[in-house]
Structure 1
Amino acid sequence: MSTETVTTPTYGNWRRPRRPGLGSFGLVGTFGVFGGLVLTLLVSLISLLAALIVIVPMAFLLVPLVVRTQDGRNLYQLVALRIGWFRRRAKGAHTYTAGPLSRQPGGRFRPPGLLSRVTMSEGRDAYDRPFGVLHHPGRNLYTIVLSCEPDGGSLVDPDQTDVWVAAWGHWLARLSHEPQLRGATVIVETAPDPGTRLANEVLPRIKADAPAAARAVMQEVVERYPSASSEMHTYITLTYGIAPGQKRKKDEVVTELAMRIPGLLAGLIGAGGGSAAPLSAERITEVVRVAYDPDIAGDVLSVRAQQGGTGLEWEDAGPAAAVETVNSYQHDSGVSRTWLLTLAPRGTVRSHVLRGLMEAAPGTRRKRVALFYRPIDPATSARIVEADRRAAQFMATSGKGMIQARAASEVQAAEQTAAEEAAGAGLVEFSLMVTVTVDSQDQLADAAITVRNLQAGARLSLRPADRMQAAAFTCTLPVGVLPWEYTLVPQVLQEAL
């Protein structure tokens, strides 16, 4: 008789980066508080009235830094978001038209917004496979896109799942050592199966002299099977930058990326990625084109199956018309809304915590879940974990009661993170976005309810990307747009706020 107990692996221990400074003020607010106090004391030597004149405006300027939302934004950031939205509306930048009758140069259908200046080129890796390279000239960034077909978690032993998760962790840790890598994105796209591939495989094989009953059965299968099935695609984008002060030709960058692709693909396959391969320029263009116009998904599959390719070029990947509103983004035959992550699952979770969120959602045209990873170099990682460790120990020794109990849990988590980082684990910042596309504006309310139910099952907290729906929609496309690279305020200053 065996007395062994089966333990299911759990995961977690992610921590939100601690904001430097005093309480909720942040580093800038802390300097403002102490600077205001010193200035007030100096002015009070002259008169109390002058001190009041100084301290009252200072308080009005510092109070908005203390009031924060659940995801850490202060009042100044909320006001800046609204001002930016009003300016875009005043300039008419929230609308977009393309094509021969538009004002776009060349009369093409270039992607709008953050992709308006992006160019596409193509190279070949060590196995002579074509891969597309997206160049973002504004930030001088280069993006490659990898496609994989994960094995999935059905009928898989927990030990195998644990091995895949460990291999995925090693792959992410390796990204910290990738020269000039700015970030990576994992995008899982689901959509109802249009049935085009099944029809192209089955219907040409039906013989004319086959029995009528057999032909009727096969035709009925082709008609009814797609209504109960869905298609799923997984894309991984890797975005690289150029070192400051270094000038390199595009051909040199493409050649260097070609040498890195085989090693990156080998790591993905070991982490359960299944069949992995780089995406060509034409395939990337097709994915973006279908995202803007979901109605042509079946036509793209049909043309590719019949002719081996569509011949689409990057200059024709965008929509004919698009309109951004406060809470939605209308583009060709679809209307989309994007949600942003505000709170990751607390405590420990199982390996299937995001399974429901990744699966196809009923009543939607397309759904994309994008996981953003920002690798941190080993030297910076060591400083961050040590700073978190000291801060957690300080909170544990200065609190009482329930606060002290929660601080003790923080100390334990910080100690574990420091030990794992010292053992060679990588430190990665991550976030998540969810984009849902429906047919009309009236269906967005049902889509919001669907996302609310999915986030509850995944133990996530999401908020709509209001007043920046167009940019958020672009970020969930497999084109390598990293949100932290496109902010007007530098990243260092944002962390200080």
Structure 2
Amino acid sequence: MTEERITYGNWFEKKSPGISILTLPGTLILGAGIAVIVFMVSKVDNGWVTAGSVTALVFAEFFYGWEYDGKTMARRIAEKREITKRTRNGESDYITGAMSNLANNEGGHPLPGILAQTKLLRGVDGYGNAFDAIHYPSKNLFAVSFRCEPDGHGMEDQDLIDMMVAKYGAWIATLSVEEGVIGASVIIDSAPGTGVELGESVRGERDPEAPPAASRIMDALVTDLPNHSSDVTGYVTVVWKQAAMASSAGNAADAVVEIAKRLPSHAAALSAGGAGDPVPMTEPDLVEVAQVAYDPETAIAFDLLRARDQAVELDWAAAGPSFLAERRGCLLLPGGAAETVEMRRPPRGVVFDNHLLRMLQPNGSFLRKRVAIFYQAVPADKAQTQAENAVRAEDFVAGQKKGRRTATTRRGIRVAEKLDAEIAEGASLIPFAMLMTGTYDDDPESSRRARNTLLSLMTSSRMKVRRSKGLQAALFHMTLPFGLIPWEFADNPFKK
């Protein structure tokens, strides 16, 4: 007799309590517009004035009160104009080095945007492991990343997998409890295997007097095996805000000391959740991630240095690319092009523990692929308020339905009520978002295949996605383990 598998899901989708398809601002515009029209009709008995007022109200609702795919028409037009303006002014191209278009840049390669203002602060955790915290002075944020090498689940018992999922969920829940934590990101980075370490190992161990047949077999293995292997690495980044930390964190150095005390507990919780043996990342690790993301071919050079036990001398101030060129639908890189798509709505219905496996697995359509999930820490008092507002919004939306309520409407009410009850009993509320970045060769065929695969991987997981035009540079860097969490660096990322 087979035991029934555990299912997950019932994610709550935040809704705006507007009338019908209108948002809350659209509903307010409608109410104010009707009041103005009624007043004008009572004062001015003119059909043309009334018709003009109604037409103006309809246009206002179309541009400002109705959202399609999460954006109003006015916002779409404003974004398109902003993209055109940036392109015309040359602001969509980023060039460093000798031909730099940056002010006060003397031939270096700084990271773009707000990352150029960051500093690395060295610390040592309770286990004696060195780490580098990325400090954002303008936001007073500190981000520390772990590199994880999780074991595959193919040979694991289902009971062990269920336990690791539960432990992982427990770690997520602690984010809203720990003082100072404002969020975290989990990134799965995958790429075809380079085969460098295998080749170096075989060449170092081969007997010069080995039989020719054995040598040919080993050469064939070294040449062919990387074509059938892949490298998969996980990164977990936790972000703290200094103002929300303990009173002892009076300055940046104190904040790093406070963070060092907390890293062992995060590492232990992540290890129990299936992350292998998480190791805090230092400056060379962070710079390598950036360099490989901009140019996937450099992964061969890094693997070669490691295979030969040579130190990697890398500087955070020079970790940036030689150039970036943002286009409406993609980002041009030194080593190809990249596109990022975002989750618009989470998977519908219930899912199993391996629901996102196809998304996370390596894929031959890309030079590199990163899937990033962002978790927002919400304090308990705010979580209860949001849950109560969710119930009221669902009741308001359901009250507008005439006739028999659909299964979707009943599910929305049921999930909102369950959310409210669980938070009242002490559960945590953790909003989340997801991005997926694919890097591919900059040619028409590779571009078409990669873009189609990006959408296919996400939509096959029963989630609704959106291709973000004009935001590709920002989204690309958000999928790197540098602590660029959306709600601190973007405007209303969870706004529907």
TM-score, normalization: structure 2? Answer: 0.92
Counterpart pick for 2:12 among 12, 15, 20: 15
Matching residue's letter, 1:483? P
Q: Which moved more, 1:141-150 or 1:59-68?
A: 59-68
Conserved? CA contact 1:337–1:444, under 8 Å: no
Q: Which residue of 1 aligns with 2:198?
A: 198
Q: Which residue of 1 aligns with 2:92?
A: 94
Counterpart pick for 2:323 among 316, 321, 324: 321
Counterpart pick for 1:352 among 351, 354, 367: 354
Matching residue's letter, 1:19? S
Gaps of 5+ in 2: none
Q: Which moved more, 1:131-140 or 1:73-82?
A: 131-140
Cα distance change of structure 1 residues 243 and 76 upon mapping to structure 2, 3 Å threshold? farther
Counterpart pick for 2:24 among 27, 31, 42: 27
Within 5 Å, which residues of 2 pair with 1:75-94? Answer: 75-94=73-92
User: For each residue in 1:297-354, what CA deviation from the matched residue of structure 2 results, as whole angstroms up to 9, or x when unmatched?
Assistant: 1101111332443111112211112211111111112211111112221100111111
Cα distance change of structure 1 residues 256 and 346 upon mapping to structure 2, 3 Å threshold? same
Q: 1:234 Cα deviation (Å)? A: 0.4
1:460 aligns to 2:468 (yes or no):
no
Q: In structure 2, how many angstroms separate the alpha carbons of the residues matched to 1:96 and 1:335? A: 14
Conserved? CA contact 1:396–1:404, under 8 Å: no
Secondary structure of the structure 1 residue equivalent to 2:337: strand
Q: In structure 1, how many angstroms separate the alpha carbons of the residues matched to 2:184 and 2:20? A: 32
Within 5 Å, which residues of 2 pair with 1:430-469? Answer: 430-442=432-444, 443-469=446-472
Q: Which residue of 2 aligns with 1:478?
A: 481
Cα distance change of structure 1 residues 57 and 393 upon mapping to structure 2, 3 Å threshold? closer
Counterpart pick for 1:296 among 295, 298, 316: 298
Within 5 Å, which residues of 2 pair with 1:265-414? Answer: 265-396=267-398, 399-414=401-416
1:261 aligns to 2:263 (yes or no):
yes
User: For each residue in 1:179-228, what CA deviation from the matched residue of structure 2 results, as whole angstroms up to 9, or x when unmatched?
Assistant: 23222111101001011121232221112233333333222221211110
Secondary structure of the structure 2 residue equivalent to 1:151: coil
1:176 aligns to 2:173 (yes or no):
no
Q: 1:268 Cα deviation (Å)? A: 0.4
Instruction: State how many pairs are aligned.
Output: 489
Secondary structure of the structure 1 residue equivalent to 2:388: helix
Cα distance change of structure 1 residues 38 and 344 upon mapping to structure 2, 3 Å threshold? same
Conserved? CA contact 2:242–2:255, under 8 Å: no
Q: Which residue of 2 aligns with 1:223?
A: 223
Secondary structure of the structure 2 residue equivalent to 1:116: helix
Q: Which residue of 2 aligns with 1:140?
A: 140
User: For each residue in 1:133-153, what CA deviation from the matched residue of structure 2 results, as whole angstroms up to 9, or x when unmatched?
Assistant: 112233232211111122232
Cα distance change of structure 1 residues 353 and 244 upon mapping to structure 2, 3 Å threshold? closer
Q: In structure 2, how many angstroms separate the alpha carbons of the residues matched to 1:80 and 1:185? A: 30
Cα distance change of structure 1 residues 242 and 62 upon mapping to structure 2, 3 Å threshold? farther
Cα distance change of structure 1 residues 267 and 477 upon mapping to structure 2, 3 Å threshold? same
Q: In structure 2, how many angstroms separate the alpha carbons of the residues matched to 1:159 and 1:423? A: 27
Conserved? CA contact 2:15–2:394, under 8 Å: no
Q: 1:367 Cα deviation (Å)? A: 0.6
Secondary structure of the structure 1 residue equivalent to 2:71: coil
Cα distance change of structure 1 residues 31 and 359 upon mapping to structure 2, 3 Å threshold? same
Q: Which residue of 2 aligns with 1:418?
A: 420
Matching residue's letter, 1:297? A
Conserved? CA contact 1:170–1:425, under 8 Å: no
Matching residue's letter, 1:93? E
Percent sequence identity over aligned pairs: 30
User: For each residue in 1:424-469, what CA deviation from the matched residue of structure 2 results, as whole angstroms up to 9, or x when unmatched?
Assistant: 3211111111111112232110112222332243222322221211
Matching residue's letter, 1:47? V
1:39 aligns to 2:36 (yes or no):
yes
Cα distance change of structure 1 residues 287 and 386 upon mapping to structure 2, 3 Å threshold? same
Q: In structure 2, how many angstroms separate the alpha carbons of the residues matched to 1:327 and 1:172? A: 33
Q: 1:400 Cα deviation (Å)? A: 4.4
Q: In structure 1, how many angstroms separate the alpha carbons of the residues matched to 2:230 and 2:166? A: 29
Cα distance change of structure 1 residues 96 and 393 upon mapping to structure 2, 3 Å threshold? closer
Conserved? CA contact 1:113–1:470, under 8 Å: no
Q: In structure 2, how many angstroms separate the alpha carbons of the residues matched to 1:468 and 1:410? A: 31
Conserved? CA contact 2:132–2:144, under 8 Å: yes
Conserved? CA contact 2:133–2:256, under 8 Å: yes
Secondary structure of the structure 2 residue equivalent to 1:360: coil
Secondary structure of the structure 2 residue equivalent to 1:144: strand
Secondary structure of the structure 2 residue equivalent to 1:427: coil
Matching residue's letter, 1:18? K
1:74 aligns to 2:66 (yes or no):
no
Q: In structure 2, how many angstroms separate the alpha carbons of the residues matched to 1:174 and 1:83? A: 42
Q: 1:5 Cα deviation (Å)? A: 4.8
User: For each residue in 1:341-370, what CA deviation from the matched residue of structure 2 results, as whole angstroms up to 9, or x when unmatched?
Assistant: 122211001111110110111132111111
Matching residue's letter, 2:209? D
